[in-house]
Every structure is written in C-alpha cells, then in structure tokens.
C-alpha cells in the first residue's frame, strides 16, 4: 500500500495532509524516517510513528474504554462530552463508534470499533451477547428482587416481559445482573419494575471480556480478540 494511503486509512487526515506529514519529516516507518509518500509499504506487522508516537497498522480499530461517568456515547452529545473525546484524534478520524450505548452516568466497559459488521454483530439482538452490570441499589434488597428479575418484568413499550439471564445479590444494596438485550435504560427500568431503584451502574463485562482492573476510568486499550 502506498504510504500516504496507508496513513490516511489509519486516521491521519486526507491523502494530501498525509503527503504533507511525510514531506515535513514527521513520519517514520519501521524505525526509519520516511521521505517518499508514494513509497510502497507492506502493512503486515507494520509499526510506524507520527511525531514520535508509535502506531501499529490495523485494518480495523477495535478497542475497549473504561467509560467514566459524565460522558455520552454519542458523536453529537447533548449535555456532556462525548466518550470519543477520550480517544486520540486518529482513532476518532477513523470513525470509531461505540458498540451500543451506556448512559452518561454509567461507568465501565465500553467497546468501540470502526468495523461496521463487528459493531452490528455485537449489538444485534440476534447474537444476544450477555452484558454484566453491577448495580448499586437505593433500597435494601433480598432474594425476591432476583426472583422477580429472573422471572421477567414488564417494561413500558415492550410487548413481553424481559428476564435477566443471571442475577445475584452481592450485598444488601449491590446487585450483579446479566442481560442479553441492550434496550434503553434497560437495567434501571428492570430494577424499577421489580420495585427498587438503581443509584449507580457499572458494566463489568461484555460476553467473556471483563474490564481489566488496571484500566483506569478514561483509559482505553486496543482489543485484538472479539468478545464471544
Ligand atoms: N442499562 C441501563 O439502565 N443503563 C445503561 O447504561 C446500561 C444498561
């Protein structure tokens, strides 16, 4: 692939901007300063640098973010900053998008990708990828809360009751709940329908992918396998 096109594919601007980056000596390829934007580069296992920052070529960018509270999962946020602002400019320029949505006050694991087919697959109801949440409850709960959630609760505007896949009360006001769908405010609405209220919500896992304990709020990491 031609170097200017390769840089463009990785989010470094238009082809013209990428040519200018190379001409101004800001790009190196496999540790060697690049001079010719038309040079043919093999993208396999390619490591390159722009302004001294190292990047690995990826056909698609898929990553996980520890979403902090106070960010919206939208490109055009209304009341808070967008989670996309937590990512470097080239990843935003590549068109990376959140996989599904977390509420602005929900924290935890958020996947993002510019691979439209992957995004569709992970968020489609047909694939029913389980999502694990830790909810802090307003009122002390007992086993009946889990019984109700596992048995199914009726949400407004839904044709049939929706049941949690798994549910566990970890403490009086701490609930771990696993759901397969991704409906608007689903956990908060299910818990409300079961007679309690969510005060705080944190996503621990998507499929078998668990939020790494050493990924601090606001930090992101490349994802090379796809959660199943
Ligand atoms: N359920 C909710 O209520 N909110 C989220 O952010 C995610 C799941």
* Residue 213 confidence (pLDDT): 97
At the second CATH level, the architecture of 62-125+209-222 is 2-Layer Sandwich (3.30)
Average pLDDT, the chain: 96
* Residue 117 confidence (pLDDT): 94
User: Does the 130-206 domain belong in CATH 3.40.47.10?
Assistant: no
CA distance 137 to 154: 19
Q: Domain residues of the chain, as ranges?
A: 3-56, 62-125+209-222, 130-206
**Residue 57 per-residue DSSP state:** -
* Residue 228 confidence (pLDDT): 64
* Residue 126 confidence (pLDDT): 86
For 172-191, b/e burial (b = at least 16 CB within 10 A) is: ebebbbebeebeeebbbbbb
Residue of 74, 100, 133 to test ligand 1 pocket, by largest number of atoms within 8 Å of CB = 133
CA distance 104 to 188: 13
Closest Cα to atom 2 of ligand 1? 185
pLDDT in tens, 44-80: 999 999 999 999 999 999 999 999 999 999 888 889 9
Question: Which residues have any ligand 1 atom within 6 Å of their CB?
Answer: 102-103, 106, 185-188, 201
pLDDT in tens, 111-133: 999 999 999 999 888 888 999 99
Indicate the pTM of the whole model. Answer: 0.94
Closest Cα to atom 3 of ligand 1? 185
Which residues on neighbouring strands pair with residue 162, listed in sequence order?
A: 153
Residues whose CB falls within 8 Å of the CB of residue 182, separated by 6 or more in sequence, listed in order: 100, 101, 123, 125, 131
* Residue 224 confidence (pLDDT): 80
- Do the domains spanning 62-125+209-222 and 130-206 agree at the CATH topology level? yes
CA distance 212 to 66: 9
CA distance 23 to 157: 58
| Closest ligand 1 atom, residue 131 Cα | 8
CA distance 48 to 8: 13
Low-confidence ranges of the chain (pLDDT < 70): 225-228
Residues whose CB falls within 8 Å of the CB of residue 164, separated by 6 or more in sequence, listed in order: 146, 149, 150, 177, 178, 179, 190
Which secondary structure element, helix H or strand E, spans residue 91, and what is its range? Answer: helix 89-93
Residue of 187, 191, 192 to test ligand 1 pocket, by largest number of atoms within 8 Å of CB = 187
CA distance 12 to 90: 6
| CATH class for the domain made up of 3-56 | alpha beta
Q: How far is the CA of 110 from the centre of ligand 1 (A)?
A: 12
Which one, of 212, 142, 140, 205, lies nearest residue 179 by Cα? Answer: 205
Q: How far is the CA of 90 from the centre of ligand 1 (A)?
A: 29
Q: How far is the CA of 85 from the centre of ligand 1 (A)?
A: 21
């Amino acid at each position: 692939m031609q170097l200017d096109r390769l840089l463009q594919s990785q989010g470094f601007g238009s082809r013209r901007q990428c040519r200018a980056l190379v001409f101004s000596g800001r790009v190196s390829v496999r540790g060697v300063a690049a001079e010719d934007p038309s040079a043919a580069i093999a993208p396999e296992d390619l490591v390159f640098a722009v302004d001294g920052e190292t990047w690995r070529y990826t056909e698609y960018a898929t990553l996980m973010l520890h979403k902090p509270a106070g960010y919206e999962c939208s490109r055009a946020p209304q009341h808070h900053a967008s989670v996309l602002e937590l990512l470097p400019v080239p990843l935003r320029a590549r068109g990376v998008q959140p996989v599904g949505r977390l509420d602005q006050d929900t924290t935890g694991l958020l996947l993002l990708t510019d691979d439209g087919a992957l995004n569709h697959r992970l968020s489609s109801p047909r694939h029913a990828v389980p999502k694990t949440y830790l909810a802090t409850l307003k009122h002390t709960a007992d086993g009946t809360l889990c019984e109700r959630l596992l048995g199914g609760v009726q949400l407004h505007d839904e044709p049939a009751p929706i049941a949690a896949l798994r549910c566990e009360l970890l403490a009086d006001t701490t609930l771990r709940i696993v759901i397969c769908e991704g409906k608007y405010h689903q956990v908060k609405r299910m818990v409300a329908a079961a007679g309690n209220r969510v005060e705080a919500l944190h996503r621990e896992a998507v499929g078998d992918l668990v939020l790494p304990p050493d990924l601090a709020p606001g930090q992101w990491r490349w994802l090379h396998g796809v959660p199943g």
